[in-house]
Amino acid sequence: MSSTINKRANTNDVAPSNPLQSDFDALSNSTDDDERYLKRALGYKQSLHRQWKFFESFAASFAALYSVGGIRTTFTIGVGAGGPAAYWSSYVITCIFVFITAAVLAEICSALPAAGSIYFWAAEAGGRRYGRFFGFIVAWWSTTAWTTFVASNCQAAANFLLSEITVFGLSFSTDVNDIKFRAVQWIVAEGFLFLAISMNYLDPKTYSLIFRIATGIILLDFFLNIVWLPIAVSKSYGFQDAKYVFTQTYNETGAPPVWNWMLSFYVTAGILVGFEASGHISEETKNASITAARGIFWSAVASAVIGFPLVILFLFCLPDLDTLYNFGAPQPFVEIYALTMGRGGHVFMNVVCIFGLIFNTTVAGVASSRLIWAVARDGVLPFSGWISQVSAKKEPKNAVIVMHVVAALLLCTILPSPVAFTSLVSAAGVPTITAYALIAFGRFFLTPHEFRHARWSLGKWSRPFTLIALVWNLYLACVLFSPLGFPVTGQTFNYSPVIFGAITIFGIATYFLTPEEKWLPNARLGKVHQLDDEYNRE
């Protein structure tokens, strides 16, 4: 996209189509660099409050990732595919490539610190020809993924609570195939959703406290597992030996040996996804072109680093896999804590786990609502005008309502079948990872010379890292599309490709049905790069 083409774009081509979009040619009276850059280079008015600093930016991704809870929630799936040897080695490999992907996205965020995050980056990466198409596709992918993630967190919290039924020997089934249990599971999950998202309606100034509480609970959870669990295990059934932890293989999936091993990435990749949340809140972050980029990269690093010792610790501390898979509770870790810490101790541990997931959901809701708001600001979603409205407190309250309602509806899929919601959960990671790949594709092949003025820059490593991120995330998408049980039946079929396909069709349909003037017009995409160059020369 050349500057000559950009300069020929007439005024009507770049005129705002939404009150929240800025007139590029209007002068800004603000002395704030973030506001000036948002208006003059990215084409948006400062509509949200901007008061968060590095900690809030870091915590948005760190708490949304919650790698401690992610490892625990999906642990039995991970060790079932390849066994302990596959699990820990796949985690190490995942960490390396996640660092690279996070660095690539951080660089793009530094050049384009907008609330739409990966949606906006995809539109820019697609260039003048494909930008609008990429934008619409990723808008639907990302909003669906984050809303589904909010819903799945609440089901996970419900499983921790309802596992006490098994521990205390109550006469109520915890079999997910029992409709009565699923009904209770649904009610509890909806309750946790209401509790978590209700904090999103608070004054934005209180969010700093929520970020601190969420981060504190994660660190408490981490240290309790690192210190208390091994002491408790040593006084109960004892540790596994090193040979078991580092060399033992296992095939719970029934897949061919090589693919069974590859399926271990199904979990390790799902644990470390969503680190772009710092980008979702970038329009509320001071010095966003540096702060948000650092938040993305360092939250991914911190989440991965604290996760690795837990993976190794859990492999040493858990009973053998046959015993593990015979536990009757919907969340096996609750029974493990009960066996090792006793009833009183494990209840405290379980409360920490549940509150960790609740605040994880709250922070994820902050990121998700900003994403939905930004997508609506550009006219991609139905009722975009209403969704993109901002309250007097400079909060996207209507976007929070939409996120809450959709997440509540998604939880209803628990009722008809446990398979339906499990597939929906797996579908939460696929759109985000595929969006990472699409951004890397556009960045490498379509707009390789754009985003040159990122203050957080990879320099000469930018292009090779972008190619690596493309290949890695395409591989992960293939793994996440795979069934987790073989032979494939109606009960073991992974419906995430079907769900992903339906989301993509929605994106394509809205691309064709939405008039271009109702969206951020293509000419504005070119103008962004032109004014970015001019701004950085000032």
- Give me the pLDDT at residue 430, please: 87
- Give me the pLDDT at residue 55, please: 96
Q: pLDDT digits over 128-162, tens only?
A: 889 999 999 999 999 999 999 999 999 999 999 99
- Give me the pLDDT at residue 5, please: 32
- Could you tell me the sign of the dihedral formed by the alpha carbons of 348, 352, 357, 358, in that order? positive
**Closest by alpha carbon to 437, among 467, 479, 394?**
467
15-to-11, 426, 518 alpha-carbon distances in Å: 6, 40, 11
426-to-77, 152, 396, 431, 495 alpha-carbon distances in Å: 12, 9, 28, 10, 9
- Give me the pLDDT at residue 14, please: 62
- Give me the pLDDT at residue 423, please: 67
Q: pLDDT digits over 106-121, tens only?
A: 999 998 999 988 999 9
Q: Give the angle subtended at the CA of 114 by the CAs of 150 and 200, to the nearest 5°.
A: 35
513-to-132, 382, 435, 525 alpha-carbon distances in Å: 13, 11, 22, 20
- Cα separation of 67 and 306, whole Å? 8
Q: Give the angle subtended at the CA of 139 by the CAs of 137 and 142, to the nearest 5°.
A: 105
Give the count of alpha carbons within 13 A of 449, CB side only: 5
- Cα separation of 173 and 190, whole Å? 20
**Closest by alpha carbon to 156, among 54, 81, 75, 227?**
75
- Give me the pLDDT at residue 467, please: 97
Give the count of alpha carbons within 13 A of 205, CB side only: 1
**Residue 52 pairs with which residues in a beta bridge?**
285
- Cα separation of 237 and 434, whole Å? 42
Q: For residue 271, count other CB atoms closer than 10 A to its CB.
A: 28
Listed in sequence order, the residues at least 6 apart from 229 whose beta carbon sits closer than 8 Å to its beta carbon are 313, 317, 337, 340, 341
Phi, psi of 442 (to 5 degrees): -65, -40
CB 277 within 8 A of CB 292: no
Q: Give the angle subtended at the CA of 80 by the CAs of 76 and 81, to the nearest 5°.
A: 125
Instruction: Using 50 as the pLDDT threshold, list the residues of the chain that sit under it.
Output: 1-11
**Average pLDDT, whole number, for the chain?**
88
End-to-end CA separation in angstroms for the chain: 22
Which residue in this structure is represented by tokens 């069709």?
505
